[in-house]
Amino acid sequence: MKPHPSEESVKDREKQMNAHHKVAAMTSALLLLAFGLLCSTGSVSAAGEGKITGTVKLDGTAPHMKGIDMSKDPYCVKQHENSPAHLENVVVGPGGGLGNVVIYISEGLSAAAASQVPSQEPVFVPKSDDAAEDEGWVMAYVHDPNRNAADVVIIDAQDFTAPPVATIHLPVRVPYGFHGNWVSA
């Protein structure tokens, strides 16, 4: 027969088990919290994402690519006996198209411009009574978080890619959702 464990050793084991359960519960809670945070921060700012497509072409003659020294490995020497391997710093395809190109964008929206948010629906103002459908300007209040104030931005309706025709810096913030109409006097 096995001897009965003493009451103290049973209590010690219970304490150890309780401590292990607390650690397991705490670890599970932390993992759930971390997973929840990862899932909740999955959105990306529209100003920070985009897509560029196209072909980058080499203008001129491709540079000579230096050969790779494989003399230390007999297997590689045999594999490349008739066609030596070269570095591929510049990969030129048919028609001068370049492969494996990294594009660095040096200009674009500034952080301030990317963070500006329209605080009113834009309003179209025709150039004249008999103007074409898109002949005129688009006007809107835009919140500038750097100044905590608003700007009135006026854009040529026929060229949304051009810089604004005018920007009027207001000394105050115009609340989101503020709206009204421009009416002739």
pLDDT tens across 18-29, in order?
A: 777 777 667 766
Tell me the mean pLDDT in the region 53-64.
81
- Specify if 162 maps to a domain: yes
Six token digits for residue 109: 């929206």
Residue 2 has pLDDT above 60, yes or no: no
Task: Round to whole Å and give the CA distance between 116 and 141.
Answer: 10
Q: Looking at the structure, tell me whether residues 148 and 127 fall in a common domain.
A: yes
Do both 115 and 162 map to the same domain? yes
Q: Percent of the chain scored above 70 by pLDDT?
A: 66
DSSP string for the chain: -PPPPPHHHHHHHHHHHHHHHHHHHHHHHHHHHHHHHHHHT----GGG--------B--SPPPPPPBP--TT-HHHHHHTSSS--B--SSEE-GGGBEES-------S--HHHHT-EE-S--EEEESSTT--TT-EEEEEEEEETTTTEEEEEEEETT-TTSPPSEEEE-SSPPPTT--------
Number of domain units in the chain: 2
Q: What is the pLDDT of residue 60?
A: 83
Domain with 164 in it: 111-169
Q: What percentage of the chain exceeds 90 in pLDDT?
A: 6
Q: In the prediction, which pLDDT does 44 show?
A: 47
Which range is least confidently modeled, 50-54, 116-120, 127-131, 137-141?
Answer: 116-120
pLDDT digit string (tens) for 79-121? 888 888 888 778 888 788 888 777 766 666 666 666 666 667 7
Residues 121 and 84 in one domain: no
Regarding whether 132 and 89 lie in a shared domain, the answer is no
Can you give the pLDDT at residue 93?
Answer: 83
Does 71 lie in the same domain as 120? no
- The answer as to whether 132 is a domain residue is yes
Domain assignment present for residue 63? The answer is yes
